[in-house]
Amino acid sequence: MRRDQVYKALAFQNPSYVPIYYFNQDQDQSDLVAFEVQRHFIGHDKDESEWGFTWNRLDETMGQPLASLINEPAQLVDFPIPNLTDPERFVGIELFNQKYGDRFRMASLALSGFTTMSFLRGFSNLMLDLVENPEFVEALADKVFGFEEQIIGQLPAYGFDAVAFFDDWGTQKGMIISPVFWRRFFKPRYIKQFKLVHQLGLKVYFHCCGYYPQIIPDLIEIGVDMLNISQPNLYNIPELGRLYGGKVCFVCPVSYQTTSISGTRDDIFNAAQALVDSFGRFNGGLIGYVEEYHSMGMSQANYLACVDAFKTLGVYRSGGDNFRTGQGIA
């Protein structure tokens, strides 16, 4: 079963091939699939969130909230969380499980944690709050993370294998906030969430955009099973493999900022080979990731080349010295 291959990749138990996660197209071919349990994209045009904000889109990407909802800290006291017993939350789960019964099935929070907080409060306001009003940040985090925990508690009844968190911490050059603030405000809450996920017998998938090498050891320490590095072009991949390969299963695309958009087929294959060389040399430890991104200029040929690269090159091996030496990632 495809599900078994994913579990073997996570446990470094020599699966038959590198599984592939097709994120937004060709999911019938994907080894991992996701069902959204936090309803950030609802309504006729999927432009509403159950938290109350509306998406403003200028193109085919996710967009930005039209306006923040908590403009003054005092508003938080009476600000409602979404309905935990919303009958729509798990509508379609039976069909989903029937269709993808042999796949590794993830309950997706769609957007989570800090990201949701920044949409409710407004990014600039939240940045100021971290310094000027830390008590408010703690209270807002309790509300958002607490709601997610209550959703997570409902998941075992539906046959999921993992919970997928989507929380961005990196820019192109470094973290959005200092690692000190991250460890003060957010690490303890992730510890609580990931512990709950594992207690329920599920795995932790953590997506994070940008460059955040300072907290990768923290994420591994507190229980991330699958780490989705979304911009591998920002990292020295061989060095990342030397430091953390075999400690977590990396989920990586051929960069959809650079190579998969503007590279040749050879460029794409070379980038995929570097991922396999660095992360897939532990009898596991790598899941390929492909996402159709014509909205960013990806051609159909390059999308298919990404798929072909992981399918062709996706062979695990053991042994830690047959890979390219890096220059450091910090």
- Are the beta carbons of 230 and 208 closer than 8 angstroms? yes
SS3 state of residue 32: strand
Which pLDDT value is given to residue 58? 83
- Are the beta carbons of 210 and 176 closer than 8 angstroms? yes
Q: How far apart are CA 141 and CA 163, in angstroms?
A: 19
The set of residues, in sequence order, having a beta carbon less than 8 Å from that of 43 and lying 6+ positions away, is: none
Which pLDDT value is given to residue 1? 87
- pLDDT tens digits for range 249-276: 999 999 999 999 999 999 999 999 999 9
- pLDDT tens digits for range 173-229: 999 999 999 999 999 999 999 999 999 999 999 999 999 999 999 999 999 999 999
Q: How far apart are CA 214 and CA 226, in angstroms?
A: 17
- Are the beta carbons of 82 and 51 closer than 8 angstroms? yes
Which pLDDT value is given to residue 321? 47
CATH class for domain 2-56+73-313? alpha beta
Amino acid letter, residue 55? W
Q: Is the pLDDT of residue 316 over 70?
A: yes
Domain boundaries, the chain: 2-56+73-313
- pLDDT tens digits for range 70-81: 999 999 999 999
Q: Is the pLDDT of residue 16 over 50?
A: yes
Amino acid letter, residue 30? S
> Which of 11, 123, 135 shows the shortest CA–CA distance to 74?
135
Residues of the chain above pLDDT 90, percent: 91
Helix (H) or strand (E) holding 252: strand 249-253
| Cβ atoms < 10 Å from Cβ of 266 | 10
By CB atoms closer than 10 A (0-12, 13-18, 19+), residue 323 is: buried
Is residue 60 very low, low, confident or very high in pLDDT (cuts 50, 70, 90)? Answer: confident
Q: Is the pLDDT of residue 325 over 60?
A: no
- Token pair, residue 163, equals 């919970």
- pLDDT tens digits for range 117-175: 999 999 999 999 999 999 999 999 999 999 999 999 999 999 999 999 999 999 999 99
Model pTM?
0.95
Which pLDDT value is given to residue 326? 32
Q: What is the mean pLDDT of residues 53-66?
A: 88
Phi-psi region of 285 (alpha: psi -120 to 50; beta: other; left: phi over 0): left
Q: What is the mean pLDDT of the chain?
A: 94
Which pLDDT value is given to residue 320? 55
| Cβ atoms < 10 Å from Cβ of 84 | 11
Q: What is the mean pLDDT of residues 290-313?
A: 95
